[in-house]
Amino acid sequence: MPSRAPLQRKIHGLDCVEEVSMLKRELLPLVEDESRLTFDLLRAKLTIDVNGTSRSTEEIDAAIQRTGLRFEPWVDSSPSDEPVSFWQKHRRAILTAISGLCGVIGWLLQTFYGRSDNVAGELAQSSELGISPIAATIYLVGIIAGLILVLPKAWRSLVSMRPDMNLLMSVAVVGAIAIGEWFEASTVAFLFSLSLLLESWSIGRARRAISALMQWTPPVARLVSESGDVLETPPDEIAIGSTLQIRPGDKVPLDGVVLSGTSDIDQSPITGESVPIEKEVGDTVYAGTINGDGVLTMQTTKTSDDSTLARIIRMVSEAGSKRANAEQWVEKFAAIYTPIVFASALLVMLIPPLLFAASWNDWIYRSLVLLVIACPCALVISTPVSVISALTSAARHGVLIKGGVFIELPAALDAIAFDKTGTLTHGEPAVSEIVLGIDGSDVPILDEQAFLSLAASIASQSSHPLSLAIVDYARESDVQTTAATDVVAIPGKGTTAMVDGQSIWMGSERLMKDRAISCSRTKGLLNEAKFRDHSVVIVGDSERVLGIVLLRDPVRSIAHGVIARLRESGIHNISMLTGDHDAAAQRVAEQAGIDDVHSQLLPEDKVEVIGLMVEEYGNVAMVGDGVNDAPALAIATLGIAMGGSGSDAAIETADITLMSDDLNLLPWLREHSVRTLLIIRQNIIFALSIKFIFVLLTFLGYASLWAAIAADTGASLLVIFNALRLLQTRSTTG
């Protein structure tokens, strides 16, 4: 059989698990293997591997057509952000707002104007007399607004005899209307529409985050031709082995190695490390990183589609689509519960009259009572109200949770992996020590205050992160600086200047060698483990080394206590993942109380480690803050981003964001999740117990329609009040 290219389709409305489930339901019988289907939710793209199958394009398209979703062939050159009308963009939000507003207006009309004075007399009659036509009409408008996007899916679910959440919700609303519980029907329609709106909003935010991530790649690269001319060329037209020129401040367009020049490169978009890295001949540079103040010539080693940044974008998209395929418990329950309810009501209506000559009127009435009490309103309302309460409480504590499914996961975690820089540490360099007396004399040439004044005077003329840290340290130490003149920045090495009439230099060991300063003790110190664990800034004059400033990214003071609390809560494994070198990683791990350390990792390495942890432990959370953490955040069972200092890509990829960067929120989140699950289980058990009791009373002939209505409404109110307990404030510090 000849090889066939994959079929690619743009699926309009491919936003969540329900669309994915519908497509899989129709396509799996044709392709047989689920691995042949790839769903890219972020771009609304479906890829079907038809190689080795006998299915035609027409058969595949017909199966997609049966889902009712609009689709078209995928065109790579088409803009990803095609224009859409205001209604297409905001229709779900508008319909949800209309649904909620009509529910409130209908309730007000029903409460204050819709009922006659003879309430007791009405309660003794049919429930249809308990609401005015105006209130019923307002309720109906709200219900239609809430379900108009759901009803087509519910109908397809009914026709295919495969009940899902859409059918369950539709049955709940129709059942509530049938028994005259208009407010309850309106509430169910509004809550379900709101949950779908939040899910769609989350996907939209993720799409925008990926678009922003793509901006890290510059639109043009400076290609050096064989004749030496520099041509501005799109990165996707540049072949492997080409020579590029990178000017100061430019973004690196492709992965490659340095051919000539030296410069500091800000690698934080890729590796997450806060301190720029010195690059010289032979060093690797990554697409999306930012060049410092030197000119570099590089040779490309990868195409634009295979760069580290491109792989980050691709891994985020693929991991997100895989996670969206997971079926939720409510869908599974609906697939069993709904058919049983319909079948039971039908049997109750038919069997006694047909087999035992019982009264048709009596058993038709009992079947109606069974349908009323079996209406899953209380059960359906209990979970979303619990989830909304939990999400609201979390937001009050500075925790942004992107959906109900993610409020449950912290309670089930078996392992947690932490990024180092910006997560366990502050993400910014700080002065940790000043070393004087480097020239070997017993008495230092300068005391610490004079030395710090000298260093800060030069550092104040630079925007380099290490210079800023030195200036901040001098300010905190109340050290006065003087104006530096004749300042010269030496790319990739440091700075020279005149301070109080002295020629002073400050920078790396390479600058010391260039200044022909011979100091064997300095060279010996730089080889010690303590110095290798720091960023080192050497300061000297024309004859000698005056001192060394040691800087490093400090560990958060609360990190050790947070790790201890997580272990006490039952987390089996706590690991640290970092792109930093071994010595720095071990130092942070020791201070934080972490035993399992993985260092010198690129983004794809972090993904591999998380994958192995998932295989070994089960449910694994990844906590990070950088663009380089985004793939690992996406592939983990639960992605948690540090929102205060985190990148947009990490925040949008993660399932949960800690807006204040407070690590104490992690053990609080786990406790909050456990409490939420407990209340959800309580509500489910209570709602089902009430229904079971009234089902028995129905068969025994003791249940009436009004008793069923009262029980269902009462159960709904009780589970709602129980769920609202989640709004109570609890301390995050334990």
| Predicted local confidence at residue 415, as pLDDT | 95
Least confident of 187-191, 379-383, 515-519, 689-693: 379-383
Kindly tell me if the per-residue pLDDT of 56 is higher than 50.
yes
Least confident of 7-11, 151-155, 196-200, 302-306: 196-200
CA 596 to chain centroid: 24
Model confidence pLDDT, tens digit, residues 353-409: 888 888 887 777 677 667 666 655 556 556 766 777 787 778 777 787 776 678 888
Burial label, 611 (beta-carbon count in 10 A; 0-12, 13-18, 19+): middle
**Higher pLDDT residue, 698 or 647?**
698
What whole-number distance in Å separates Cα of residue 174 and Cα of residue 711?
Answer: 18
Least confident of 38-42, 134-138, 695-699: 38-42
Quote the pTM value: 0.60
Residues contacting 422, CB < 8 A, separation 6+: 272, 274, 624, 625, 626, 642, 645, 646
Band (pLDDT 50/70/90 cuts) for residue 123 is very low
What whole-number distance in Å separates Cα of residue 170 and Cα of residue 152?
Answer: 10
| Predicted local confidence at residue 480, as pLDDT | 86
Residue given tokens 């003791």 in the structure block: 702
Which residues are annotated as catalytic? 419
Per-residue pLDDT, averaged over 541-555, amounts to 85
Band (pLDDT 50/70/90 cuts) for residue 79 is very low
Residue given tokens 């204050």 in the structure block: 112
Kindly tell me if the per-residue pLDDT of 82 is higher than 90.
no
Burial label, 264 (beta-carbon count in 10 A; 0-12, 13-18, 19+): buried
Kindly tell me if the per-residue pLDDT of 462 is higher than 90.
no
Measuring CA to CA, which residue among 521, 526, 488 is closest to residue 509? 526
**Higher pLDDT residue, 303 or 330?**
303
Kindly tell me if the per-residue pLDDT of 665 is higher than 70.
yes
Q: How many CB atoms lie within 10 A of CB 615?
A: 9
Looking at the DSSP bridge assignments, the partners of residue 178 are none
**Higher pLDDT residue, 208 or 92?**
92
Model confidence pLDDT, tens digit, residues 238-253: 999 999 999 988 999 9
Domains of the chain (ranges plus CATH)? Answer: 7-73 (3.30.70.100), 84-216 (no CATH), 221-306 (2.70.150.10), 402-426+555-666 (3.40.50.1000), 430-552 (3.40.1110.10)
Kindly tell me if the per-residue pLDDT of 427 is higher than 50.
yes
**Higher pLDDT residue, 76 or 276?**
276
Kindly tell me if the per-residue pLDDT of 319 is higher than 60.
no
The bridge status of strand 243-246 relative to strand 256-260 is unpaired
**Higher pLDDT residue, 23 or 575?**
575
Model confidence pLDDT, tens digit, residues 161-185: 766 667 767 776 776 677 667 887 7
Least confident of 341-345, 437-441, 529-533: 437-441
Per-residue pLDDT, averaged over 424-446, amounts to 76
| Predicted local confidence at residue 657, as pLDDT | 82
Sheet holding 277-279, edge to edge: 277-279, 263-266, 290-291
Model confidence pLDDT, tens digit, residues 6-16: 888 988 877 65
Residues contacting 147, CB < 8 A, separation 6+: 154, 169, 170, 173, 189, 192, 193
The maximal CA–CA distance of the chain, rounded, in angstroms, is 116
Per-residue pLDDT, averaged over 68-73, amounts to 84
Residues contacting 312, CB < 8 A, separation 6+: 213, 270, 603, 627, 628, 630, 631, 649
| Predicted local confidence at residue 598, as pLDDT | 92
Q: What percent of the chain is modeled with pLDDT above 90?
A: 18
| Predicted local confidence at residue 324, as pLDDT | 33
| Predicted local confidence at residue 581, as pLDDT | 75
Kindly tell me if the per-residue pLDDT of 113 is higher than 70.
no
Kindly tell me if the per-residue pLDDT of 117 is higher than 60.
no
| Predicted local confidence at residue 321, as pLDDT | 46
